Structure 1
Amino acid sequence: MTTTGDEKLSKIEIIKRQSRHLRGTIKEDLQDGQPHFSEENVQLLKFHGVYQQDDRDLRAKLKKEGKEKHYSMMIRARIPGGLLKPEQYLVFDRLADEYTDYKNMRITTRQTLQLHGILKGNLKRTIRSLNESLVTTLGACGDSGRNTICCAEPGDEPFRMEMRHDLLALSDRLSAKTNAYHEIWVDGEPVELAEGETEEPLYGDVYLPRKFKVAIVPEGDNCIDVYDNDLGLVAHIENQHIVGYTVLVGGGMGRMALDQETYPRLASPLCYVARDEAIDTILDTCVAIVTMERDFGDRSNRRFARMKYLIDRRGLEWFKQEVEERLGRELDPPRELTWQSGNDHLGWHRERDGVSYLGLFIPYGRIKDTETIKLKSALRDIVREFQLTVRFTAQQNIILSGIANGLRNAIEDKLRSFGVPLPNELSNVEQNTMACVSLPTCGLALAESERALPELMPHFKKLFEELNLAEETITIRMTGCSNGCARPYNANIAFIGRASGKYDVFLGGSSLGTALNERFKETVPIDQLVATVRPILESFVEERELGEDFGSYWRRAGLERFRSIAN
């Protein structure tokens, strides 16, 4: 394994190397009676799927009273492809009620669940309960392979089962193997290694320089934004079977608003790999790509540690040659890709003969009960009563699968009794929105997001109706900072927090997830966001060509066309 030597290592790199495979002193910290962890352990906890946070709504009040912050933990699970059995989903539902401050759950854009507001004293029993249901949090965060995502649509086509098989095999190969997780959270006993066995055969004692995101999708259906990932596999289907994958590398959404050397990037096609029965070839190719980031990624400046910067710095051809050298064979050229849809799988659809699935829109991914919409209670009752499989989508929604056709009316009646709207009762603009968590729990947030976008939606809905765009697919995404957790940079319309109540406006992108947008205007007050976008949408309606979508129109017209509006 090649590792950095003479370069100055970042602080977090030193913490990782001294952690004894992510052990640190987490065990001791759990018993010290304090509401928070040490700075070093806060970094290591991310590998265990835990972020230390505090309620930022309470910061000023507590500081004025001379009290410390209200610390709590966010737990993120690793759920490959976002699939949970009914009993597993109900464990999350119960833990949210028992141990979180907010009594709700959050679906992420990586098809998993987060539990916010868990006190340090409840952390171990929460993680242990998840493990008892065969769900882990190891590797959901931190500098390793994150939760591997996949098109969540169920069905009886053979390629869907093959894709699920490949997903699980790849997730296993790229997951962290450290025994520290079980020692700390599960049984408390050190695990003895067999002679010659290495605790982390892929990651060693240094892990990766930064997070690493992997996605799998069938060609034509880009519901997961495959180009936004460090590593993407696009399945080519022939006669309902996967014949191989086009491999994409170097995608990533994160940037720093004030650092022009950072940027979002869509992944580049690298090669095509045929799928043999054991999929060893594709797995070996993916592992070789991960080792490139491990061995050559920037470990001195985390701002530039993602694989996209390595590829742009050294070149895609160099990257390909290095991968070939590691594999001992030449790579086949990538196949040309075509896309028909980037929409989520909402509404009723056939799953197999006599069985349907229902895709439900979950507003901004938050599973909660309000005075008017008892979403959390509805899902709990439905999953428990009908024993349905739950699938999370990469657009923060839920698919309930395995519904006998004769039960469709009963499911709808149950949802309506809890005030939960069906997808056909929502407008297109509502269904094509996403927001990151932001305030009050995210420490990086500069502006509101999840709590702000719902207030804007009625105004956008009215605007779209006025312009006869109600049936148009135009994606709107909002984030509280420039890091890009809600994948804003390939949305048609994106609002990216720059300061309290102010946002940069990005326009263009692609509803297929195949193009980046551009910054149109900076630091726009939240009450002017709709007015800022209105003239662009009016121009789109007046000037669009037949069949032209908003993203294509923006790229044809060009940013310069609208400079006068921005000034």
Structure 2
Amino acid sequence: MAEINNNEIFPTWNLSEVEGIKTKSNYLRGTLKKSLDDMATGALAEDDTQLIKFHGSYQQTDRDMEAERKRKKLEPLYSFMIRTRIPGGVASAGQWAILDELATTHANNTLKLTTRQAFQLHGVIKRKLKETMQQINESLLDSIAACGDVNRNVMCTTNEALSPLVPAAYQLAKDISAHLLPKTSAYHEIWLDKKLLVSGKEDEEPIYGKTYLPRKFKIAIAIPPYNDTDIFSNDLGLIAIGDKDKLEGFNVAIGGGLGMSFSEPGTYPRLGDVIGYVPYDKAIAVIEEVVKLQRDYGNRENRRKARLKYTMDSIGPEKFKALLEKRLGYTLDKTRKFKFKSNGDFFGWKKAKSGKWFLGLYIEHGRVKDEPEYRLKTGLRKIADLNKCDFRLTGNQGLVLGAIKEEDKKEIAALLKEYNIWPKENISGARQHAIACVALNTCAMAFAEAERYLPSLMEKIELILAQCNLTHDDLLIRMTGCPNGCGRPFLGEIGLVGRSLGKYNMYLGAGFAGDRLNTLYKQTLGEQEILEELKVLLPRYAQERNDGERFGDFVVRAGIVKPEKEINFIVPFQ
């Protein structure tokens, strides 16, 4: 065990502005009620824009309309994004129907399926915000802690046809989410008009404390050989280890995170370190202590360096592990052997041991909407109205229709065909696995387009793939409007990260299983420059690759880029 010197690892912070807002917020209340009642503006008071994140919402503006609104001397066109908390991403047919209805009546007529297996509603105006929150709650979902400096939505592989370990892993995802849920009653008071506290009694946060965490915290569970939750990009990842059909425990990886800033030196993406193994019944206790360590030692001065990965590196992974074991009162077991083969989704029909069917669907960039020849939103609502399956969101913006009985499969398949949802013809392997963040027009952080642009760029990339006979080869392409990492661009075999409008940095060489970061290859490329690079790289890959070699592995082996950090094992295998 590494020697611990508390004088070295207890810093004195000059607290950031957000820390001050949290401190005086009275456990996340602030002046949110007053802000919501103020109809003279479509916005909230400035401090409340930070606090509402903990309640699962972001204030946004329509950046496409900025110039026109300024010209007319109008305030920005404000609206709100609402994100659900839905551990493991499993929703009932009834919950899907309610969210679909809210998207139509209260939002922008689309549903967004996120890379954290959550729903997002976009374009909710302030006067409809509270009503929308209440209707989400009536569906037995909520948005508590879907954003903010707390544990976010807990991810988990949930396609039961892929592994018999899924039910036990999914149950743990729900248990973790419940255990780390903020205990403040502010959400219920503000949004649901409930008075839960006895007069004179104050809220308590036994895990988070009065000022919560220094920054967001992300947890995911993956079941080898599928790394569809990109386990190593999370602050804490649990790698399921089972014996036949029994889930016995988890290898624990900590310190992952993909966000960085072009303007902040010393910010970087990082993969989590595997620190050991924990039995199933001890997993929550280990998780709680990791969260508390981040609470106590995380950077509360500079939010760009406040994630667990920076805490780990400032203390040192060995010392951090030693601190964890000291708090637990025991040493973690040695890491168990595991192997991931991919971090993408499984598409198509597959039958589980239970006899029920599961269908993995491709949803381009997670946007559920209707188009003239592809009435995705209407078709999925028709299926939800049957109440003969559930809806399971994936970590790659995809969807699984789950738990379908044999006798119901034909009826569901007929609706999928009627609305041109499945089967989908002529989708390349690259398009199926592509991820894009929302970016413009609503994300305040975006420098460039992503979701609205990548489909058209993919059409041009597919022409190159076809010329190289690579149309049906899986390839991980990920595009984001900025380097904050929401679309996990630094784990793309080809990562495109926005620098300015129409310009992107190109990164190459991530591992296909999510176990190696990519490397910066070229900077500030426009569309034509991106395509010219791919016209060289993709033919080389097609001609020079070894049998079964993935594109990310090829560009590293060929010396096109130097390999970036791979996962690190702090303790050896047994």
- TM-score, normalised relative to structure 1: 0.94
Give a deviation string over 1:276-302, Cα, whole Å, max 9, x none. xxx2x2111110001111000000000
Q: Distance in 2 between matches of 1:11 and 1:263?
A: 23
Q: Distance in 2 between matches of 1:437 and 1:357?
A: 28
Q: Distance in 2 between matches of 1:496 and 1:114?
A: 22
Aligned with residue 72 of structure 1, among 79, 91, 105: 79
Q: 1:224 aligns to what?
A: 229
1:91-110 matched pairs, under 5 angstroms? 91-100=98-107, 102-110=108-116
Amino acid at match of 1:269: V
Contact 1:347–1:424 (Cα < 8 Å) also in 2: no
> Is the partner of 2:262 in helix, strand or coil?
coil
Aligned with residue 181 of structure 1, among 182, 187, 207: 187
Kindly tell me the number of residue pairs found equivalent between the two proteins.
Answer: 555
Report the Cα offset of residue 425 of structure 1: 4.8
Amino acid at match of 1:296: Y
Cα–Cα, structure 1 residues 203 and 441, in superposed 2: closer, same or farther, change >3 Å? Answer: same
1:267-286 matched pairs, under 5 angstroms? 267-275=272-280, 279=281, 281-286=282-287
> Is the partner of 2:137 in helix, strand or coil?
helix
Q: 1:203 aligns to what?
A: 208
Q: Distance in 1 between matches of 2:165 and 2:550?
A: 30
Report the Cα offset of residue 157 of structure 1: 6.0
Report the Cα offset of residue 342 of structure 1: 2.2
Higher mean displacement: 44-53 or 330-339: 330-339
Amino acid at match of 1:83: V
Q: Distance in 2 between matches of 1:23 and 1:4?
A: 29
Q: 1:12 aligns to what?
A: 18
1:243 is the counterpart of 2:244: no
Report the Cα offset of residue 459 of structure 1: 1.3
Report the Cα offset of residue 326 of structure 1: 0.9
Cα–Cα, structure 1 residues 482 and 8, in superposed 2: closer, same or farther, change >3 Å? Answer: same
Report the Cα offset of residue 558 of structure 1: 2.4
Aligned with residue 59 of structure 1, among 66, 76, 81: 66
> Is the partner of 1:344 in helix, strand or coil?
coil
Report the Cα offset of residue 340 of structure 1: 2.4
Higher mean displacement: 437-446 or 552-561: 552-561
Q: Distance in 1 between matches of 2:272 and 2:200?
A: 39
1:375 is the counterpart of 2:380: no
Contact 1:446–1:498 (Cα < 8 Å) also in 2: yes
Q: Distance in 1 between matches of 2:540 and 2:362?
A: 30
Q: Distance in 1 between matches of 2:81 and 2:525?
A: 31
Contact 1:360–1:423 (Cα < 8 Å) also in 2: no
Q: 1:50 aligns to what?
A: 57
Higher mean displacement: 404-413 or 174-183: 404-413
Aligned with residue 153 of structure 2, among 143, 147, 153: 147
Contact 2:375–2:420 (Cα < 8 Å) also in 1: yes
Q: Distance in 2 between matches of 1:428 and 1:548?
A: 15
> Structure 1, unaligned stretches of length 5 or more?
563-567
Q: Distance in 2 between matches of 1:123 and 1:481?
A: 27
Contact 1:156–1:352 (Cα < 8 Å) also in 2: no
Q: Distance in 1 between matches of 2:58 and 2:156?
A: 24
Q: 1:565 aligns to what?
A: none
Amino acid at match of 2:333: D
Q: 1:162 aligns to what?
A: 168
> Is the partner of 2:211 in helix, strand or coil?
coil
1:433-512 matched pairs, under 5 angstroms? 433-512=434-513
Give a deviation string over 1:37-94, Cα, whole Å, max 9, x none. 0110000000000100011111111111111111000000000000001111111011
1:22-421 matched pairs, under 5 angstroms? 22-33=28-39, 34-100=41-107, 102-155=108-161, 158-192=164-198, 199-275=204-280, 279=281, 281-421=282-422
Report the Cα offset of residue 423 of structure 1: 4.7
Amino acid at match of 2:399: I
> Is the partner of 2:276 in helix, strand or coil?
strand
Report the Cα offset of residue 510 of structure 1: 1.6
- Alpha-carbon RMSD across the aligned residues, in angstroms, is 2.0
Amino acid at match of 2:48: N
Contact 2:519–2:561 (Cα < 8 Å) also in 1: no
Q: Distance in 1 between matches of 2:83 and 2:302?
A: 26
Q: Distance in 2 between matches of 1:337 and 1:264?
A: 23
> Is the partner of 1:340 in helix, strand or coil?
coil
- TM-score, normalised relative to structure 2: 0.93
Contact 1:293–1:307 (Cα < 8 Å) also in 2: yes
Contact 2:92–2:389 (Cα < 8 Å) also in 1: yes
Cα–Cα, structure 1 residues 418 and 379, in superposed 2: closer, same or farther, change >3 Å? Answer: same
Query: Equivalent pairs: percent with the same residue?
Result: 39
Q: Distance in 2 between matches of 1:316 and 1:70?
A: 45
Report the Cα offset of residue 537 of structure 1: 1.5
